[in-house]
Structure 1
Amino acid sequence: MRSLQKNLCNNDPDQVLYETMFVWNEFLTRGIRKHLKNTLWTVALVYGFFKQTTLSVSGRDLKLTLIARRSRHYAGTRVANDVETEQIVFEDVSDGLPTQITSIVQNRGSIPLFWSQETSRLNIKPDIILSKKDQNYEATRLHFENLVERYGNPIIILNLIKTQEKKPRESILRQEFAHVIDFINKDMSEETCLRFLHWDLHKHFRSQATNVLVLLGKVAAYALTLTGSFYCRVTSTMRPDECTAWPFSE
């Protein structure tokens, strides 16, 4: 329910702090946790994905862990969902703690605009209805302010929806989203402005001449160069100030 960085940099390691965004029974357990002033008698239920595997790189065995946490606040099927995905890598040692551990976190969410689709059994691709009730895009602005509060700057947006369609559907959202980002960035400094990347995933998947993983790797390298990755040397007497964010290099 909490990222590696939040766990290792917790100033009170004896107290398990609930990440209320990703704990689906947070409300049901709130009363007993407040009464007992601890979390020892409750179990946090997280809806998501977990996978761990061993990789061999240059003769060294590494553990690769992938964790996806789905927000309980945005539990829609398509129009509203928010998933935090964390990749953790550390050396696989036979005994004791790994000496070095690193992680990166990314967020996957729906386009933060007011839009909807009418469900229909006869139409598998219902029209996308774009609402214009938020003329100043305050909700979108608040969404990105929340991301900055949770993850810090810079915020890098990778937009994967279609560029061109015979009948405009997703491309309507794409154009409006690009307009919104330009609108918000007018009031932002160069350091805090939103980095917006367009990449038509569907188009590249259909092209046999395109190596999609290579292109996505370049996008990931660009993002990590800007944000860095969390790195920590783990010891039995580790202090929070021994954790840091390191620049990424290929």
Structure 2
Amino acid sequence: MSFSRLTRALLGVFSVLALLFVYAPLALVLLNSFNTSRTFAWPPPDLTTKWWSAAASSSGARSAIIVSLEVAAIATAIALVLGTMAALALQRFQFFGRDTVSLLIILPIALPGVVTGIALANAFLTMVGIRLGFFTLVVSHATFCIVTVFNNAVARLRRLGGNLEEASMDLGAGTFMTFRLVTLPMLRSALLAGGLLSFALSFDEIIVTTFTAGSGVQTLPIWIYQNLFRPNQAPVVNVVAAALIVLSIVPIWLAQKLAGTDESVAAAR
């Protein structure tokens, strides 16, 4: 398809405007992390790195980061196991209600976070009788992380078909050997991409976390929200946010490179 010179120019202008709309606020956060003014005066009167030193020595920020990493890692591990099993069951077997089960698996990520958070909090407190804390937070995050892994695994299984697995079983391999030697290598890059996206999704979740974490657990998004409007903490919050912007580029880039390329499928085969 070819476009006229005017069309290409308009598309270029709109692309630049869209990128500016998305990334200008992020660039402002990075700049304010070096701003000497506590009120983020514009333009910055001067630049400094003292806020970075203050953020590095902040025990509250370090504790919140550790909690977020632990929750995201455990929730991602649970999502990888359950999401892969659900994808295999729905893609490789025919049974009554398969489409309904698929819809129910995907539904948590489509629902508003407020609805999911209230529903989970009520379930934990009234139906199960569990106090809100670290365990309930992990379970809550796993409910929507499963969707990311499930979608990636289902998409890969649809592209691969079942011929290689059938050939493996025809040659005498059992179910678990076929999964270990044939299915898992073909799913490896898709699961890695889904795991990275699930980790990122869990790490910055705030709405569901607010309802299911309880008072004794503080993740990094909760810490940022609580300290953003405190005069002495606002510059430190900008530093933490700037560091997260830089660090989040790596898993998102890896997930994009690994998600469903033809080369990775050929290598897995």
Structure-2-length-normalised TM-score: 0.24
The structure with the largest alpha-carbon Rg is 2
Identify, as 1 or 2, the structure richer in strand.
1
Q: Which has the higher contact order (CA 8 A, sep 6+)?
A: 2
Identify, as 1 or 2, the structure richer in helix.
2
